[in-house]
Amino acid sequence: MSTFSDLGLSAPILDAIASLGFETPTEIQEKAIPHLLGGDADFIGLAQTGTGKTAAFGLPLLDLLDPQTDCTQAIVLAPTRELGQQIAEQLALFSKKQKGIRTLAVYGGANIVTQIKALKKTRHVVIATPGRLIDLVNRKAIDLAQVGYVVLDEADEMLNMGFKEELDTILSFTPEEKQTWLFSATMPKEIRRMVKDYMSDPFEVRIDPKTTVNTNIEHQYAVLHYKDKAEALTRFLDLDPELYGVVFCRTKMDTQKLAEFLIKGGHRADAIHGDLSQAARDRVMMRFKRRELQVLIATDVAARGIDVNDLTHVFHYALPNDQAYYTHRSGRTARAGKKGISLSLISFKEKYKIHNFEKGLGVEFARVDIPLADAIVETRLRGWAMGLVAQEDVAAPPPELLEQIDLLLGPLTKEEMVARLVARELSRLNLGQRADLNDRGPKGMKGFKKDGAGKNFKGGTSAGGFKKPYKKGGYKKDGYGQGGYKKGGYKSGGYKSGGYKKKPTWDDDGFNTGDGEFKPREGSGGYRKSFSGGAKKSGYKKGKPGGFKKGPGGPKKGGYKKKW
């Protein structure tokens, strides 16, 4: 395994990353940095979030800049304000040992006048969201005519958000002779078209998602009904007071409603989504980073750029369909060598997604139970009691009132007093009527069995096959007993172990209900192949006297006689 000093970086950059505690490069850094430092070709880096992409382009970019040249030499485009801020913060840390390198982040939602003033002092690198950069160019606050490097970070997300036209406009402001570095988690057709239009014979590095899986992340899932998701989430939060995480929802409305539900229940939570003003988003993020909030509720887009090293949990309140989104989300936890948990709250019908993620990512998911109500009650009551003991600076009530209350409570013993206080607090907790929120699947159903028995409906007594609930019979593949398809588990009836019975019997009356249905061989009953006929009651007979005769009817008895 190589070190950063093996990649060709300058001494000031190496000093800076050493002071930050970085020791060995990630795979994308190891493969990208030497090429970006030494080459003059365009570059494509395909890697998931959490693989160190910012350092992969940021470190060589800073080394290639000339602090003596008084112009904007590089622009870095990001899909969201949060990601732009995060990139700017990291570039500032990487360049702290360099002299004269100045960077600036510009994005929508912030005061544009302030940004214009900041741009009057030369910024060698400008990190921007597409819309705000176009505004600044149109106001002639920034000149892109001498830009030598254009970095498109999370290019797939920018296109998903509808920035194709803005990217076309921005690139038209830059000179033809430049290097374009594109980083993306995926490579859809739209990205390929952009590569064809704006890049020249790019060098491509692709990091297999399976090789980038963070082994410090424990992947878990809990199965429940959709209506119980919010309550289930509160139980996980209550059971672990040290939990610190992000909850991912699918829509802005879902994030807001869930945050309001949690806040109403006394939890330290808030939401971040696109409908919030920039100032409001900044306030929420500041509270979250200070751990004034236990959980942050976010959409995938709003969470871009959130980089908090101490997150213990990522919750997938709505499981994404796309593997890349799952990896993006989960990568928020278990950073800087720490452990983390990625927990998906799914319905029974979504279990196939877990199986697909296991195959696609090469990881194993463990099913966990939602904490039971009793455990939550115990945890909450213990916390309530400890809070009472630890409470300080309580304003004492007036002595007269205290004396009256003491007289009213006098008949109660200490034990009775404690019991009644606990009962009242228990009533206030209001955990709902259901103690167990776990969905065990349809009643009587086991579903897929890993031991090879196939799809097995519980209820039969033998192994394998597809068995009707709570019946002894069913279609049994193991061949034990009388096997076959038994209509009710009766011994003699139905298709027995050989289907049509070949054993001859000597009872009369053809269709024999005791020994079993149609018989193709000789014997009394069933279709007889002989023409022996006879006077016995032998069911359908093709023989002479009696039976079903095609000729003149025979005499005497004998089955079904038909005269001409």
- 154-170 pLDDT, tens digit per residue, is 999 899 889 999 999 99
CB < 8 Å & 24+ apart, contacts of 404-408? none
Q: Which residues contact 433 (CB under 8 A, 6 or more apart)?
A: none
Is residue 367 domain-shared with residue 424, that is, in the same domain?
A: no
Which residues form the domain of 392?
A: 374-429
Whether 118 and 207 map to the same domain: the answer is yes
pLDDT category at 477 given cuts 50, 70, 90 is very low
Contact between residue 336 and residue 216 where contact means Cβ atoms under 8 Å apart: no
Q: Are residues 25 and 85 in the same domain?
A: yes
What are 414's two structure tokens? 């200490």
In three-state form (DSSP H/G/I as H, E/B as E, the rest C), the secondary structure along 208-258 is: CHHHHCCCCEEEEEEEECHHHHHHHHHHHHHHCCCCCEEEECCCHHHHHHH
Question: Would you tell me how many other CB atoms lie within 10 Å of the CB of residue 15?
Answer: 14
Q: Within this chain, do residues 224 and 362 fall inside the same structural domain, yes or no? A: yes
Q: How confident is the model at residue 490 (pLDDT cuts 50, 70, 90)?
A: very low
Q: Give the domain-ending residue among 429, 455, 474.
A: 429
* Average pLDDT, integer, range 223-237: 94
What sign for the dihedral angle of Cα 330, 332, 337, 340? negative
Q: Any idea which of 130-139, 184-193, 248-257, 430-439 has the lowest mean pLDDT?
A: 430-439
- Residue 1's pLDDT band (boundaries 50, 70, 90)? low
Q: What is the pLDDT of residue 449?
A: 41
This prediction's pTM: 0.56
Residue 479 lies in a domain: no
Same structural domain for residues 96 and 228? Answer: no
Residue 289 in any domain: the answer is yes
For residue 87, the one-letter residue type is: I
Q: Is residue 264 part of a domain?
A: yes
Cα separation values, 497 from 460, 463, 477, 526, 531, Å? 18, 16, 11, 18, 29
Q: Are residues 366 and 378 in the same domain?
A: no
Question: pLDDT grade, residue 495 (50/70/90)?
Answer: very low
Q: Among 25-29, 415-419, 464-468, whose mean pLDDT is lowest?
A: 464-468
Look at residue 359 in the predicted model and tell me its pLDDT. Answer: 85
The most confident of the ranges 368-372, 403-407, 467-471 is 368-372
Given a cut of 70, is residue 212 above it in pLDDT?
no
Residues 303-328, mean pLDDT to the nearest whole number: 84
Residues 256 and 305 in one domain: yes
Same domain? For 32 and 127 the reply is yes
Q: Which of 190, 211, 232 is the last residue of a domain?
A: 211
Q: Could you tell me the pLDDT band of residue 5, with boundaries at 50, 70 and 90?
A: very high
User: 137: part of which helix (H) or strand (E)?
Assistant: helix 130-138
The one-character DSSP state at 4 is G
**Residue 534's pLDDT is what?**
42
Q: What is the CATH number of the domain that holds 266?
A: 3.40.50.300
- 3-state class (DSSP) for residue 44: strand
Examine residue 539 and state whether it is found in any structural domain, yes or no: no
- 65 belongs to a structural domain: yes
The answer to whether residue 354 is domain-embedded is yes
Say if residue 42's pLDDT is above 90: yes
List the single range of 16-25, 112-121, 228-237 with lowest mean pLDDT. 16-25
* Structure confidence at residue 351 (pLDDT): 92
3-state secondary structure of 469: coil
The answer as to whether 125 is a domain residue is yes
- The pLDDT of residue 499 is 41
- 256 with 217, same domain: the answer is yes
Query: Does position 463 have pLDDT exceeding 80, yes or no?
Result: no
For residues 539 and 340, which has the higher predicted lDDT (pLDDT)?
340
Answer yes or no: do 240 and 345 share one domain: yes
How wide is the angle at C-alpha 526 spanned by C-alphas 521 and 530, nearest 5°? Answer: 55
Backbone angles phi, psi at 454, to 5 degrees: 85, -160
Give the mean pLDDT of 477-488: 40
Dist. CA 447–CA 95, nearest whole Å: 56
Residue-wise pLDDT tens digits, 377-406? 777 777 777 777 877 777 777 888 888 888
Domain boundary among 192, 211, 230: 211
Q: Is the residue at 518 inside a domain? A: no
Q: Residue 291 and residue 281: Cα distance in Å, rounded?
A: 15
Across the range 520-548, mean pLDDT stands at: 43
pLDDT at residue 554 above 70?
A: no
Per-residue pLDDT reduced to its tens digit, 48-99: 776 789 999 999 999 999 999 999 999 999 998 888 998 999 999 999 999 9
* Residues in the chain, overall count: 564
* Shared-domain flag, residues 261 and 406: no
Number of domains making up the chain: 3
> Residue 177 above 90 pLDDT?
yes
In this structure, the answer to whether residues 190 and 266 fall within a common structural domain is no
Output the average pLDDT for the chain: 79
